[in-house]
Structure 1
Amino acid sequence: MPEFEIKEHRHKHRRKQEIQTQSPTRLKEGKLCAAVKSQIGFGFHRGTELRIRQAESSEAKAKANAQGITKFLEYFFQDDDVKFFKSLGLNCIRIPFNYRHFEDDMNPRVLKTDGFKHLDCDLHAAPGGQNTDWHCDSGSHVANFWLHKDFQDRAVWLWEELAKHYKDNTWIAGYNPLNEPTDASHTRVVDFYNRVHTAIRTIDQKHVIFWDGNTFASDFSHFGDMHKRWTNSAYSIHDYTEFGFPSSKETYSSTDEQRKRIRKSYEKKKAWMDERGLCVWNGEFGPVYTRKEYDGDKTDEINKSRYKVLKDQLDMYKQDSLSWSIWLYKDIGFQGMVYVSRSTPYMELFNNFLAKKQCLAIDAWGADKTYIQPTFQPIIDLLMKEVVPDEIDQRLYPWPVWKLPARVGRLGRNLLFSEYMIKEWAEHFRGKGKDELDLLAQSFKFDCCVHRDGLNKVLTDHASLE
């Protein structure tokens, strides 16, 4: 396989395939990816992997952890997944990973080599939590990674270990040292990136390093001239658009005005790189989709609109020769290119639980708040009237990504409600033996999944590099 290298000018690099676990991507001149993120039904703060593992240990007597549901990692991405992925014309997979696969908080800096059983290149969850959101697995809305040097030291140590392990592997395209940082100072993230660059380059000079912008990979405005110090690097934006989510106030119909708004947001994110002729990689993007069991007769109409969003984004990236990685490959029916069938043991077991979670908008990601919003709106109104009547005082970082209503949702639904629902989730495993738990995990195998044909057709239509 040819070596992959970033040249000085944006997109002037050689073609290489890569496997990761997150979403379809495309690196100019040859990077079309998908991300394979392990999603089992919780997408919120207190419902993080950490809390679920703790619940497994207490409620399911560790059987679910050791023998059962976490075995889904073995079934989640296998040869059949690879063959299907390749058949779509995609050539790269971004793999998000949790630092806990490689070290324990109670035994830091002692490498757990079992973590290498699964491929990893995108540090999605760093010690302490590098961002304010659920997917960094901190169980909090505070990005403590930036407040404690030891957390940063551990992340640097981990990347040294990963670089040692992968430095001679030609099937690895590169490393994504930190997913979606949210550093309120805008300077600590750059200082940390400097440390990681030195640590990796001391060991590995060959692989590309993909740097996410600050504030959920949207802001490079404080990076200055750091690109002059960072060798063989690409710069990653995450180009989500509100048109692809239930929060959008209008249905997307691909009007000129709507397409202009999508492009304006996209160009703002990559402006720093464009001004300097640097390589831009869209490390994440993609709409979410409705499900008939929740959205009824509106499902097909809404999803067709979301496919239009995706098509227009991909048309834009192709025009700019931009490499991309869509979020994501496989899940339980919300966004994946393939998703677990509702007739599988896992989905049948959790049918009522997932419906309850959907209704209460427990998930932070792409929640439909129609049912629960009337309950939370008085709290929002009270805050705006009695606590922060001046709009400027409502702008707590990471504003404007999180405005006041979103913060209320994070601290209320996504933190408080979900914390109390974890026990209910874990109780589903009580009394189940090894074979039953294995059958639940097998629900995530490729032959137990449904293909989202509309999504996959749009991706295939844009997979050509011509």
Structure 2
Amino acid sequence: MTGFLRVEGTKIVNEDGTPVVLRGAATGGHLNMENFITGYAGHETEQKEAMLKVMGQEKYDFFWDRFYEYFWTDKDSEFFASCNLNCLRIPFNHRHFLDDQDLTKINPNGFKLLDRIVESCARFGVYTVLDLHTVPGGQNQDWHSDNGTHRAQFWEYGHFQDSIIELWKAIAAHYKENPWIAGYNPLNEPADPKPTRLINFYTRIEKAIRSVDEKHILFLDGNTYAADFSDFPETPYPNSVYSIHDYSKYGFPICDERYTGTETQKAKLLASYERKIAHMKQVGVPVWNGEWGPVYASAMRNDTDIEGTNASRYLLMRDQLAIYKKGDPSGDGAPISWSIWLYKDIGYQGLTFVSPDSKWYRHLRPWLDKKLSLGLDRWGRNAAPEVESIYQRVKDHFNEVIPQQHLKALYPPTWSTSDYIDRVLRDVLLSQYLAHEFADYFRDLSFEELDELAASFKFENVVHREELIQYLKNWI
């Protein structure tokens, strides 16, 4: 251990000035829940409210206490370090700290949840990045900000922004002397239709954090889901790393073209990366690829040609890693830091995943099959053809009646009318109803059964994605 990490030019360095490349993954659906990671429908808050209604307070508290405890333990930290990974990104929901009914009071229980992970990682020499994944009103239009609408209302209300400024001041004060924290990721994937508000927010939050903590790095996501830095100031924020998210369409079921590593495909990967880091090259700041990685095929989701699909996805991952190995924006051929999405789930992307033989899969299998057939997960959506035809008729109608010049009128422009229709009708409205069906699976379960469900996520009970682990382990 050589003290706090800091920024020097386009490098992250330790106290001795030696470059440090952060390699890791995110916990994912732990302190911030996402529907495809654990299997519920819609948004975390809706899921939990529906579960509380059918379980009652005592069993509800028991289940979540066990889930949070089992999901990350010293065994996970030890394994993580053994994979030659040195930094864990910890996404967390603001509601662990703030009650939406009173955004002025900070709940100390949030620190207890974060502390146990940070301290566990430190025992095994693993840095952590604290990632605020949700904010009041939603910093983007999608489900992973626990936003039950398709509008990013965080940018429309100053009170929401003020509450998060104060929250980060409290977090920075709590961790300011902890050298095992690599830094703070103040806002995951912001998507501000008027980007000046994001820049004003970053300027404010940088000053607020520095008023109590001058040591830790800030990891700042670009606008439009960590892809656009065009409105960032020419003078970079001090001691800051700019964070991209570098997902490739080749890694998802919605892409009809299989990745085979052709020169044309490699060129597209490189062009996408270069476009995202153009600002970093111009102003000379480090890059952290805070999220990336494909969705893997699985018999648990009734995928076909699993072997061929996953061979393609692993090839994609290797070719992206090759870009990152020489991706420093200075052009000196040094590697950049990265964090894959994600460490543990129910079989989509994780280094580890819940076993098909677990209580979680055995008990929830009918629900998971129904959810899959309805295409309720934007991440890896692959619904039954008869279901897709229903939505396609709506999409065709929209495309017929909206003038061509206005099809990109809504933000983000990277979304098509198809994306918006899926977001509003499936991810929001239908999922609101079906969250209650998911909750019904927890009705009348005993404490022992609830404990067994939560224990499905314990390290000793999960399956390892060995090929992925070996690629990451051998990267350097």
TM-score bin (small chain)? over 0.9
What whole-Å deviation, never above 9, does each CA across 1:293-323 have from its counterpart, x for those lacking one?
Answer: 3334411111111001100000110122111
| Correspondence 1:294 to 2:301 | yes
SS of 1:283 mapped into structure 2 = strand
Alignment of 1:434-453 (within 5 A): 434-453=447-466
| Counterpart residue number, 2:360 | 346
**Contact 1:88 1:460 survives alignment (8 Å):** yes
What whole-Å deviation, never above 9, does each CA across 1:241-286 have from its counterpart, x for those lacking one?
Answer: 1011011121100111000001101110110011111111101100
Q: Which moved more, 1:389-398 or 1:163-172?
A: 389-398
| Correspondence 1:403 to 2:419 | no
Mapped partners of 1:237, 1:437: distance in 2: 38
**Contact 2:7 2:217 survives alignment (8 Å):** no
- 1:42 is aligned, of 28, 35, 41, to 35
**Contact 2:6 2:215 survives alignment (8 Å):** no
- 1:328 is aligned, of 342, 345, 357, to 342
Quote how far apart the aligned CAs of 1:41 are. Answer: 7.2
Mapped partners of 2:41, 2:101: distance in 1: 20
Mapped partners of 2:5, 2:380: distance in 1: 35
SS of 1:165 mapped into structure 2 = helix
- 1:376 is aligned, of 391, 400, 404, to 391
Q: Which runs of 5+ in 2 are unaligned?
A: 115-128, 328-334
SS of 2:29 mapped into structure 1 = coil
**Contact 2:261 2:316 survives alignment (8 Å):** yes
| Counterpart residue number, 1:201 | 210
Quote how far apart the aligned CAs of 1:366 are. Answer: 2.3
Mapped partners of 2:264, 2:15: distance in 1: 35
- 1:257 is aligned, of 264, 289, 295, to 264
Alignment of 1:42-441 (within 5 A): 42-43=35-36, 47-69=42-64, 71-119=66-114, 121-227=130-236, 230-320=237-327, 321-369=335-383, 371=385, 372-386=387-401, 388-400=402-414, 402-441=415-454
Quote how far apart the aligned CAs of 1:391 are. Answer: 4.1
Quote how far apart the aligned CAs of 1:15 are. Answer: 8.0
Quote how far apart the aligned CAs of 1:204 are. Answer: 0.3
**Contact 1:5 1:13 survives alignment (8 Å):** yes
Quote how far apart the aligned CAs of 1:331 are. Answer: 0.5
| Correspondence 1:461 to 2:460 | no
Q: Which moved more, 1:257-266 or 1:108-117?
A: 108-117
* TM-score, normalised by the number of residues in structure 2: 0.91
Quote how far apart the aligned CAs of 1:231 are. Answer: 1.4
Pair 1:441–1:218, CA change in 2 (3 A):
same
Quote how far apart the aligned CAs of 1:61 are. Answer: 1.6
Q: Which runs of 5+ in 1 are unaligned?
A: 17-26
Mapped partners of 1:149, 1:460: distance in 2: 44
Mapped partners of 2:384, 2:408: distance in 1: 23
Mapped partners of 1:439, 1:12: distance in 2: 42
Pair 1:138–1:286, CA change in 2 (3 A):
same
- Counterpart AA for 2:173: K
**Contact 1:57 1:63 survives alignment (8 Å):** no
| Correspondence 1:7 to 2:7 | yes
Quote how far apart the aligned CAs of 1:70 are. Answer: 5.2
**Contact 1:383 1:389 survives alignment (8 Å):** no
Mapped partners of 2:382, 2:177: distance in 1: 45
Quote how far apart the aligned CAs of 1:455 are. Answer: 1.2
| Counterpart residue number, 1:24 | none
**Contact 2:300 2:356 survives alignment (8 Å):** no
Quote how far apart the aligned CAs of 1:289 are. Answer: 0.9
* TM-score, normalised by the number of residues in structure 1: 0.93
SS of 2:350 mapped into structure 1 = coil
What whole-Å deviation, never above 9, does each CA across 1:34-78 have from its counterpart, x for those lacking one?
Answer: 111126772499621111111122122234421114521110011
Mapped partners of 1:208, 1:430: distance in 2: 45
Mapped partners of 2:254, 2:422: distance in 1: 13
- 1:33 is aligned, of 15, 24, 28, to 24
Mapped partners of 1:128, 1:64: distance in 2: 29
Mapped partners of 2:40, 2:194: distance in 1: 23
Q: Which moved more, 1:103-112 or 1:264-273?
A: 103-112
What whole-Å deviation, never above 9, does each CA across 1:212-266 have from its counterpart, x for those lacking one?
Answer: 0000000000113241xx2111000000010110111211001110000011011
- Counterpart AA for 1:81: D
What whole-Å deviation, never above 9, does each CA across 1:90-149 have from its counterpart, x for those lacking one?
Answer: 100000000101121123221211111222711001111111110111211111100000
Mapped partners of 2:418, 2:65: distance in 1: 34
Quote how far apart the aligned CAs of 1:415 are. Answer: 1.1
| Counterpart residue number, 1:23 | none
Matched residue count: 449
SS of 1:162 mapped into structure 2 = helix
| Counterpart residue number, 1:22 | none
SS of 1:414 mapped into structure 2 = helix
**Contact 2:24 2:86 survives alignment (8 Å):** yes
- Counterpart AA for 2:357: S
Mapped partners of 1:91, 1:352: distance in 2: 38
Q: Which moved more, 1:31-40 or 1:156-165?
A: 31-40
Mapped partners of 1:282, 1:14: distance in 2: 19
